[in-house]
Amino acid sequence: MLDVKDITISYQKRPVVQSLNFHLDQGQVLGLVGESGSGKSTIIKAILGILGRSGQVDKGQILYQGTNLTTLSERDYRKIYGKEIAMVFQDAKASLNPIRTIGSQFIEYLKSHEKISDQEARSQGIQALKMVELKDPEEIMDQYPSSLSGGMAQRVGIALALALKPKLILADEPTSALDVTNQAQIVFELERLKKKEKLTMILVTHNLAVASYLSDQLLVLEKGKVVDYGPCQEVLKNPKSSYTKGLIQNIPSLGEG
Ligand SMILES: Nc1ncnc2c1ncn2[C@@H]1O[C@H](COP(=O)(O)OP(=O)(O)OP(=O)(O)O)[C@@H](O)[C@H]1O
Ligand SMILES: [Mg+2]
């Protein structure tokens, strides 16, 4: 589904991700792990075409179902975003509009992609909220982000990302803004969705416990370079780099960090 071939990404000519290769099959979760500044979000942004003015993919290809995303125009990206590839943000509360109800944000998002009525969009939104096991979805539709708990807001963020049934989900630290209990719950929720909806996902996290719980493949980055990559259990059992070995020794439990 996704084939990243030898890409180098830089900001203002300074390479921050170098010679990156990975492959993602449908129904698989790739865990992208590395310390702060190692380039994790940069990779997600490159896939989404949102590196901004200072950033660019210098070489290589990002093939999504055979299409090279690095050469897409902004307009073509807009066709892909949401319906093909969607994003789950670190802090759903911050990424939602604080002065509009959840329902109106679902309706706007869905109507910007599909020719449907408000009513249809609302009912699709309710379906999506049910998908992430939120109780009283109708009530949530009429609420503002500020009245949701962190865990609920994150479920709403995941529901929004799933609402258009995208084929690929990019999740950048989807649990890091949460407290221990909610973090574990969101991890279990993603695990359940992975099985039930056969999610294909790139999961960015600095928490190796979270990554190894959810991922089929693990890719460990150190300063923009891949130091370990392979099936999750294999990387955990036989890490090649001392960097990964260190991470494994200091593996936080599913709640910390
Ligand atoms: N817009 C930008 N302009 C210039 N440099 C940037 C920009 N965005 C990120 N960088 C630099 O690129 C490198 C990688 O940053 P990136 O945000 O991808 O790291 P990360 O692994 O996601 O870190 P974190 O875990 O803190 O989110 C860092 O050195 C960062 O300072
Ligand atoms: Mg980041």
65 pLDDT more than 80: yes
Ligand 1 and 122: CB distance under 6 A: no
pLDDT tens digits for 120-168?
999 999 999 999 999 999 999 999 999 999 899 999 999 999 999 999 9
Q: How far apart are alpha carbons 59 and 75 in whole angstroms?
A: 22
For a mutational test of ligand 1's pocket, the pick from 8, 42, 91, i.e. the residue with the most ligand atoms closer than 8 A to its C-beta, is: 42
Instruction: Provide the H-helix boundaries in 167-239.
Output: 180-197, 208-214, 232-237
Please compute the mean of the pLDDT values over residues 64-86 and round it to a whole number: 92
Scan for tokens 């090279």, then name that residue: 68
22 pLDDT more than 60: yes
Task: Look up residue 81 and give its amino acid.
Answer: Y
Ligand 1 and 36: CB distance under 6 A: yes
pLDDT tens digits for 168-202?
999 999 988 888 888 888 899 899 999 998 999 99
Q: What is the pTM of this model?
A: 0.92
254 pLDDT more than 80: no
Give the pLDDT confidence score for residue 144 in this predicted structure.
96
Scan for tokens 């590196």, then name that residue: 51
